[in-house]
Structures are given as C-alpha cells and as structure tokens.
Chain A
Amino acid sequence: MRVLLAILSVFINPQFYKIALTVATPLMFASLGGVFSETTGVVNIALEGIILMGSFTSVVFTYLTGNVWFGVLMAVVSGIILALLHAWGSIKWSGNQIVLGTAITLLAQGLTGFLMEPIFGQPGQTDFIGKIDEITIPGLVEVPFIGQVLGEISPFVYIAFGCVAFGWWLIYKTKLGLRMRAVGENPEAADTLGINVYAIRYFGVIMSGVFASLAGAYLSVGEIGQFKELMSGGRGFIGLAAMIVGNWNPVGAMLASLFFGFFGAFSNQLQSLQEIQVAANVKSLFDTIPFILTIVVVAGVVGRSRGPAADGVPYEKHD
C-alpha cells in the first residue's frame, strides 16, 4: 500500500511532467526527422548517428567560440552534411537505405571518437563547456502546477513543439508537402506530373538531418553542457519507433514521443523512490522499461499503422 501510494505520488509531482517533456524532446525532433525523410520515401536510420554528430558538433563549436547558439547552428550544418551523404547514397546510387543508415551511424561514432583527443585532449567525454539555460516564461511561471512544468524549462522544448507544428503545416497544408507525399506514395505518378522526385527526396532527407541534429544539440548543450561518447543512446531508433507508432504523421509522432517520454520519466522517478527498497542493481532493470515498451508498442501498432507506399524503395527514372 505504501509502495503503491508512493508510485501514485509520482504523478502528482509537476517535476515528473517536466522530466517527461525533457525526455520526449529529443524523440520529438528525431521522430519528426523520420517523418520528413520517410514521407518522401527514404528510410533514414542514420538518425542515430546524426543525433550523435549534432551533440558533438554543438559542443565543439561552443568550446571553440564560446557561443552556444552558434554551436547549435553548426550542429545543424553537421546534420545536413550527414543527411546529404545518406541522400546521395540512397537517391543517386539506389543503395540499400538501411545499410547506408547503419554506415552513417558508424561513421558518426567513429568520427566523434576519433576527434575527441585532437580537439579536447581527452577520450570518452568532455568537461562541462556551457549550456543553454532554461527560459522563464513571465506570467506562466506563476500559474500553479502548469507553471512548474512549463514556466521554466529548456527553450528546446518549445522549439520542438514549434518544429512539429511547422512540420505538420508544411506536409499537410502546402504544395511542397503535397509533392512530398506524392513522391513517397507513388514516385512514378509524381514524376509523370512533372514533380522532380529526386529533389523532393533530397529535401525530405536534408530536413531529417536538420531535426535530428537539433535532438543531438539538445542532449549536449541543451541539457548537460558536455559531450559523452555514444550519448545518443538509441534515441534515433526510439524516434523511428515513435514515427511508426504516430503513423508517419508529425503530430502522431509527437504524441508517441510524449508517450515514450512519460514512461522514460516514470522509470527514472521509480528509481529515486525511497519506498521501493531494492538493491541498486535491480534498479538498473527499470532502465529497460523504455526499450521493452518500444518493442511492445511497435509490435502492437504496426499492423494498423501504414507508412508511405514507396518507403525505402529507390526510384529510378526510365528514360
């Protein structure tokens, strides 16, 4: 009973919802990136690597210039470069997109590991180099409960919601979005109508790089102010899972990310409860919750959720 009450008490704590949002934020970026790429028909599992590269690049340029936002900007540039590489292999050369994505993730892991010593003089992780502070929303911060959740929080949380709204608008309310969807569903037909299939696909993949790199920048300069090796920690893949669960829709992917964030925060809070007296090593089993949940949810929804028809299929123009 005491344990049950303690668990329930987690949910009335505004801090819990704030943590859930911060856990969800990188997933929102990553899943939105997945939506952009796959809507045009290119599977992008390079997201994991792009996130890692974004974390690293933002720390490097913050370290070199002292300007954190410049670091974020350069992270986006790094994301675009890796995304271009993925697009080039997938679109121009019709390579296996999943294997290419794996290669790019490995490239990011190799590059970040390789550059640690020359730039920071130490392997593994950097020192604290500076971070983007939480912003305080005047007025909102005084509102009970909600103010404690949203009144003082990383600006990335708001940027993430903004990006989702922008993504939804772009994909569903603009001509460009219509073309993206057409190219992902039926590239032959789109081509017949004079749409440049390759250009649209490049655009989708590049945008996925932009969003995934923001996820990376958030993890490093947005949250802890340092880079740690392999700090992306599978978020690219969980983001892809959120995209599938969200039925390849920016809003759906956002909701799925929030759902994952909620459980991530839950397992995180469970571990700090005094009332649950278990050995420290048992608490590490709680860390498996988000991953088990991802498997269960992906397996549970796949039959019902449907991706773009030409997703993952290279398009070759017939002259």
Chain B
Amino acid sequence: MKKMIESIAVPVIAVVIALVISALVILAIGKNPIEAYGSLIHGAFGNQQAIIDTLIKSTPLILTGLAVGFGFRAGVFNIGAEGQMGIGALAAATFASNFGGLPPAIAIPLTMLIGMVAGAGWAAIAGFLKAKTGAHEVVTTIMLNSITTYIASFMVTGPLATGYGSPKSPEISTSAQLPILMRVGAMELSSGIVIAILAAVFMYVFLNKTTTGYEIKAVGFNPYAAEYGGISVSKNVILAMAISGALAGLAGVTELMGVHHRFLGELAGGKGFDGISIALIGQNNPIGIIFAAILIGALRTGSNEMQFMGVSKYIVMITQAIVIFLVAADRIVRAIYARKKVEA
C-alpha cells in the first residue's frame, strides 16, 4: 500500500512542480499564469464540447502511452511510436479507401489489423536489429521515424494523392470508419476510446496473466538472469518491440478511422513522443497510463484556448519536459517528498 502511494506520489508531485515552473515561465513573458491556467482548464473541461474534445485527443495518447509503457516494461525504449503510428495509419489508409464493398464487421477489424501489423513490423525492424546486432533501439527507431515522414510525404503527394488541397490521401470507405459514440455540436467522439481502453486491459492481462508476458517482463527486468533461466532474450526483445509497435499502429488507425478518415501529413504530430511522457507519468501501469493520457490530452486541448490569451501552446511541451525529467530523476522528487514528510 505504501509502495502504491509512493508510485502515485512521484508523478503527481512531478506534475505539480512542472506546472509551477511553467507558471514562472508564463510570468516571465509578462502574462498572468493564473489566468492562463484558468483558460487552459476551461478549454479542456469548461463545457460538454470541451470534454468531448479532450477525450478525442486522449484516445491516441492512451495507445501511444501503452506502446511506450509496454516497451519500458520489456526493457526497450521505443522512441519510435511516432513513426509506427504514422506507418500504421498510412498502410491502413492505402487499402481502406477500397473497402466500400465490405460490411463494417469485416472492414473495421481488417483496417485495424493492417495498421497494427504495419506498426508491429516497423518496430520489429528495430527489435530485430537490437536482438541480432546490438544496435540501440533509440537510434534505429529515431531513424525509422524520419524515414516514415518521407515515405508519408511520398505517398500523399504520389500514389495516394487526391490532387486537391493540401497533400492527403482519399477518404477511407464509410464501412471502415469507426462508429460514433457521442456527438456534441461539431465534436464526434468515436468508439476509438473504447478500443484504447480495451488495449489497456489487454496490456494488463497480457503482462500479468500470461507466460509470454511474464517472460517479456523478466527480460526487461534482468536480461542476464532471464537468459540463465532459459528465456530467449532476443525472441522476447523482438516480440516486445512488435507488440509495442502494434499498439502505436493502433493509435494511428484509430485516428484514421475515428477522427480524420484520411491520412494527413501531420497525423502523428508528436503524439508518439507524447507517449513517452504518458508512460512515465503513468508509471508504465495501464490504468496510470489512461489517466496520464487524459491529463496530457487535456493540456493539449486546453492550450488552444490559452493561446488566445497570448500564451503559446508550446508551454505544454515545456511542462511535459519537466515532468519527464523529474520522473526520470525521481530521486529529486523523493528527496522533496521525504523532506515534506519530516516537516509534517
């Protein structure tokens, strides 16, 4: 119990410190941080439409958070969720505009599968290279992110080009679009949020209730001991990267099938990188990740309103950076926490 409280305390204190430092930054450019945060909260939760918007933004973030968090549990740092998300959506968009003849019961799972397989395959390249040659996944996945950007720009200006407006793919077939759960004004909350929560359940069950999940965790915890205990490290590293990539790919397809209905250049737009903050704030725990994703989703949504008062939405990135820093060097937070306790 004490351990649980502490594992929640670290990210919570980190978020509070980060918000305080960000407030000082806002103050430094001559704006009122209380007003800025007020408009941020209003923008994220102020009315029904805002809440729906926050949930829409949180959906892919839950999935990229799960992707990165799953990787961390397996001992790999998948900094390539961004690229896997993009390639998943791109692959799905390539096929899903031709699914008009299929009933939704087939078209929807098929489109999701294509996106997940593409994301898994993209991540598995990095997993394979790590397992077989020792190439660090941080370097390889970053390179794969850049490659994804160029492939995407090639596709939307070439084979998939619609020929009008900004570069984008054609709209996917209606039968491949996710059903809408709720509609408030112009905001449509798709069933993607249900998929994201199911994915969190999957991650929990897989890691805690299956043998493969146990092996992956063992490799993440101590690869030498795992190998000694007869668990193949290389097999599990590749598998872990593939599952992580599949989750990121799923983030891409839920954006495609539930929000944009077509591939746009900026579809991933930093959501893969947000997954890193989310996994760290959520302490790699599926439930923690859901809450962390809603937090970051709220910051992103609310920051649009804050921007109207002249506080750039980049402040959210600064906040996130400080949170990541403090969670990574969690002893800073623990030291503050310990001092507080002594004083109390």
Chain A interface (Cβ < 8 Å from any Cβ of B): 45, 85, 89-90, 93-96, 98-100, 102-104, 106-107, 109-111, 113-114, 116-118, 123, 234, 237-238, 240-241, 244, 279-282, 284-285, 287-288, 291-292, 294-295, 298-300, 302-303
Report whether B325 and A89 are in contact in the complex, using a CB–CB cutoff of 8 Å: yes
Q: Digit string of B312-344 for contact with A (CB within 8 Å is 1, else 0)?
A: 101111111110110111111000000000000
The CA-CA distance from A238 to B138 in the complex, in Å, is 11
Report whether A292 and B315 are in contact in the complex, using a CB–CB cutoff of 8 Å: no
- Smallest beta-carbon distance B79→chain A, Å: 7
Chain B residue, CB-CB nearest to A89: B329
- Smallest beta-carbon distance B277→chain A, Å: 8
Q: Which residues of B contact A300 (CB under 8 A)?
A: 133
Report whether A298 and B135 are in contact in the complex, using a CB–CB cutoff of 8 Å: yes
Between-chain CB contacts (< 8 Å), 11 pairs: A93-B331, A94-B329, A99-B280, A99-B324, A104-B325, A110-B321, A114-B312, A288-B146, A291-B144, A292-B143, A295-B139
Report whether B140 and A280 are in contact in the complex, using a CB–CB cutoff of 8 Å: no
User: CB within 8 A of A114: which of B77, B314, B325?
Assistant: B314
Query: Is chain A's interface secondary structure helix, strand, loop, or mixed overall?
Result: helix
- Smallest beta-carbon distance A209→chain B, Å: 16
Q: Digit string of B121-147 for contact with A (CB within 8 Å is 1, else 0)?
A: 000010001001111101110111011
Report whether A113 and B317 are in contact in the complex, using a CB–CB cutoff of 8 Å: yes
The CA-CA distance from A284 to B138 in the complex, in Å, is 24
Cβ of B154 < 8 Å from any Cβ of A? yes
A113 and B314 in contact (CB under 8 A), knowing A95-B330, A106-B320, A237-B139? Answer: yes
Cβ of B98 < 8 Å from any Cβ of A? no
User: CB within 8 A of A280: which of B151, B157, B273?
Assistant: B157
Report whether A295 and B138 are in contact in the complex, using a CB–CB cutoff of 8 Å: no
Chain A residue, CB-CB nearest to B332: A93
Interface residues of B in 252-294 (CB under 8 A from A): 273, 276-277, 280
Q: Which residues of A contact B125 (CB under 8 A)?
A: 295
- Smallest beta-carbon distance A42→chain B, Å: 13
Tally chain B residues at the interface, Cβ within 8 Å: 49
Q: Digit string of B22-40 for contact with A (CB within 8 Å is 1, else 0)?
A: 0001000100000000000
Q: Which residues of B contact A123 (CB under 8 A)?
A: 312
Report whether B140 and A295 are in contact in the complex, using a CB–CB cutoff of 8 Å: yes
Report whether A302 and B134 are in contact in the complex, using a CB–CB cutoff of 8 Å: yes
Q: Which residues of B contact A117 (CB under 8 A)?
A: 310, 312
- Smallest beta-carbon distance B20→chain A, Å: 15
Cβ of B158 < 8 Å from any Cβ of A? yes
Report whether A303 and B134 are in contact in the complex, using a CB–CB cutoff of 8 Å: yes
Cβ of B191 < 8 Å from any Cβ of A? no
A281 and B315 in contact (CB under 8 A), knowing A95-B329, A107-B325, A110-B321? Answer: no
Report whether A288 and B147 are in contact in the complex, using a CB–CB cutoff of 8 Å: yes
Q: Which residues of B contact A288 (CB under 8 A)?
A: 146-147, 150-151
The CA-CA distance from A302 to B320 in the complex, in Å, is 33
Identify 16 new A-B residue pairs, CB closer than 8 A, beyond the known A104-B321, A123-B312: A102-B79, A103-B322, A106-B277, A106-B317, A107-B321, A110-B317, A114-B315, A237-B138, A241-B139, A281-B154, A281-B157, A282-B158, A284-B150, A291-B143, A298-B135, A302-B136
Cβ of B97 < 8 Å from any Cβ of A? no
- Smallest beta-carbon distance A312→chain B, Å: 10
Cβ of B153 < 8 Å from any Cβ of A? yes
Q: Which residues of B contact A85 (CB under 8 A)?
A: 325
Q: Which residues of A contact B147 (CB under 8 A)?
A: 288, 291-292
Q: Which residues of B contact A282 (CB under 8 A)?
A: 154, 158
